[in-house]
């Protein structure tokens, strides 16, 4: 019994309340999600295998290069476009939205915003079309939230850089052809100022995939450890200027947090839509579940919180588009939307009773996926910390 409803079917959110062009982009993304992603979403989660075929199709459709400038083969959409698309894709499968978010929003975005023209020409066209798989390596075994404490070392020996260290929990790490990563070129005491951004390609001697990491949600996204052992890369693999790496990492993460918030909204909407369909057809004590006030109010609360999360997300994207400082808005949207997704998915399971906790329905997957969003790209605590710093210390 898999009663998974199509994205948008019976949705209380049929339209994006922004410009018409975004409504068209939403429709374009929803068509692909319904046709290509929904049918394989459960299998990706169950097998935890990287969905290479889907990745290829996403690349051909343009989803993996939505923000890459058109001159480099992407669609050249702004962040609002990426948000609208990301919500639709996550509604069908958070794992698929991770493929898009990491490729487009993280790896390609670093190169597009900070790379040299040679780096852009070399990497972006293939990333945009999904012919290369990209990853973003910041987190390490000993440094996640405190990214300025990374210890992967890049030693300049006059001819190039020699990299030693490892990266942890890297999405698409198992399969990546191109990895944008961050390493310490200065002393540990330099903190954030001693970090530089680099790019490394699969097959470079001294660079390898370490262990595959199995996680509870966003499964099938090739999460892995990446290892550098005397890996030599030329100076031309530096992205931006030496010492600017932390700034680059945080600038890009600020944008991608808005994307993560949109994904959380998508997951929560999927859980709500499934619940709305279910309560109308499930009879209990001779009445549809939808006639019980306790259930009706749960649905009302779910829809209200999702709308609030969605508005925060769209607002953050609007502030980003205006060129203003959007760190506060991104932090608010990211933690509120991911916590909302967890809350909504938990309610959705309650509404479905035994079916909710069973593997017959996708609801338990939605909850596991939602929890991942509470952790990646800066945990909820880190977002509150950023926010409180912006509010109290500036």
Q: Could you tell me what percentage of the chain is helix, strand and coil, using 3-state DSSP and rounding each to the nearest 5?
A: 60, 15, 30
386-to-148, 173, 253, 311, 327 alpha-carbon distances in Å: 14, 28, 13, 20, 8
The token duo for 351 is: 């509404």
379 touches ligand FAD by CB under 6 A: yes
Closest CA to 370 of 272, 279, 284: 272
User: Closer to ligand FAD at the Cβ: 161 or 169?
Assistant: 169
**DSSP designation for 155:** E
Q: 38, 40, 75, 218: which one contacts ligand FAD (CB under 6 A)?
A: 218
Q: Does 387 bind ligand FAD (CB under 6 A)?
A: no
Query: Shortest Cβ distance from residue 176 to ligand FAD (Å)?
Result: 9
Stretch that binds ligand FAD, among 57-65, 278-286, 319-327, 374-382 (CB under 6 A): 374-382
CA proximity to 65, closest of 56, 57, 73, 53:
73
| Contact between 37 and 92 (Cβ < 8 Å) | yes
* Beta bridge partner(s), residue 207: 228
Q: Could you tell me how many residues of this chain bind ligand FAD (CB under 6 A)?
A: 22
Nearest Cα residue to 72 out of 95, 99, 104: 104
> Interacting stretch for ligand FAD, rule CB under 6 A, among 2-10, 80-88, 259-267, 371-379?
371-379
The residue range among 47-55, 149-157, 254-262, 379-387 that interacts with ligand FAD, by the rule CB under 6 A, is 379-387
| List 140, 269, 364, 377, catalytic entry | 377
Report DSSP state, residue 342: H
385 lines the binding site for ligand FAD (CB under 6 A): yes
DSSP state of 31: H
Cβ proximity of 313 and 79 under 8 Å: no
The minimum distance between CB 182 and ligand FAD, in angstroms, equals 8
| Least CB distance to ligand FAD at residue 278 (A) | 28
- 169 part of the interface to ligand FAD, by CB under 6 A: yes
Tell me, yes or no, if 88 is annotated catalytic: no
Phi, psi torsion values for 202, nearest 5 degrees: -55, 140
Within 143-162, the residues that bind ligand FAD by CB under 6 A are 144-145
Catalytic center residues: 377
Q: Footprint of ligand FAD on this chain (CB under 6 A)?
A: 102, 136-139, 144-145, 169-171, 215, 218, 223, 372, 375-379, 381-382, 385
């Amino acid at each position: 019994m898999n009663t998974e409803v199509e994205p948008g079917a019976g949705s209380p959110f049929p339209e994006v309340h922004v410009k018409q062009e975004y409504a068209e982009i939403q429709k374009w993304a929803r068509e692909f999600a319904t046709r290509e992603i929904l049918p394989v979403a459960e299998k990706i989660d169950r097998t935890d295998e990287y969905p290479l075929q889907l990745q290829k199709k996403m690349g051909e459709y343009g989803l993996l290069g939505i923000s890459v400038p058109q001159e480099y083969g992407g669609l050249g959409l702004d962040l609002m476009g990426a948000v609208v698309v990301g919500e639709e894709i996550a509604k069908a499968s958070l794992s698929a939205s991770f493929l898009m978010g990491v490729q487009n929003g993280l790896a390609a975005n670093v190169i597009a915003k900070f790379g040299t023209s040679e780096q852009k020409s070399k990497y972006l066209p293939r990333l945009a079309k999904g012919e290369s798989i990209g990853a973003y390596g910041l987190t390490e075994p000993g440094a996640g939230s405190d990214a300025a404490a990374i210890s992967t070392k890049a030693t300049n020996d006059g001819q190039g850089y020699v990299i030693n260290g490892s990266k942890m929990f890297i999405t698409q790490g198992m399969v990546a052809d191109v990895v944008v990563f961050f390493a310490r070129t200065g002393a540990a005491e330099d903190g954030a100022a001693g970090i530089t951004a680099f790019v490394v390609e699969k097959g470079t001697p001294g660079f390898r995939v370490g262990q595959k990491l199995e996680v509870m949600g966003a499964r099938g996204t090739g999460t892995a450890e990446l290892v550098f052992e005397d890996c030599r890369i030329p100076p031309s693999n530096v992205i931006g200027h030496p010492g600017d790496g932390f700034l680059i990492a945080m600038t890009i993460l600020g944008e991608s947090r808005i994307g993560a918030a949109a994904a959380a909204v998508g997951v929560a909407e999927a859980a709500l839509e499934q619940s709305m369909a279910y309560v109308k057809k499930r009879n209990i004590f001779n009445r549809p579940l939808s006639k019980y006030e306790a259930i009706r109010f749960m649905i009302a609360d779910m829809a209200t919180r999702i709308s609030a999360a969605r508005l925060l997300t769209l607002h953050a994207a609007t502030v980003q588009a205006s060129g203003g400082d959007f760190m506060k808005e991104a932090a608010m949207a990211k933690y509120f939307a991911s916590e909302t997704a967890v809350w909504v998915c938990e309610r959705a399971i309650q509404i479905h009773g035994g079916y909710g906790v069973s593997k017959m329905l996708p609801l338990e997957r939605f909850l596991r996926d939602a929890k991942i969003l509470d952790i990646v790209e800066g945990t909820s605590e880190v977002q509150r910390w950023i926010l409180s710093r912006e509010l109290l210390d500036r």
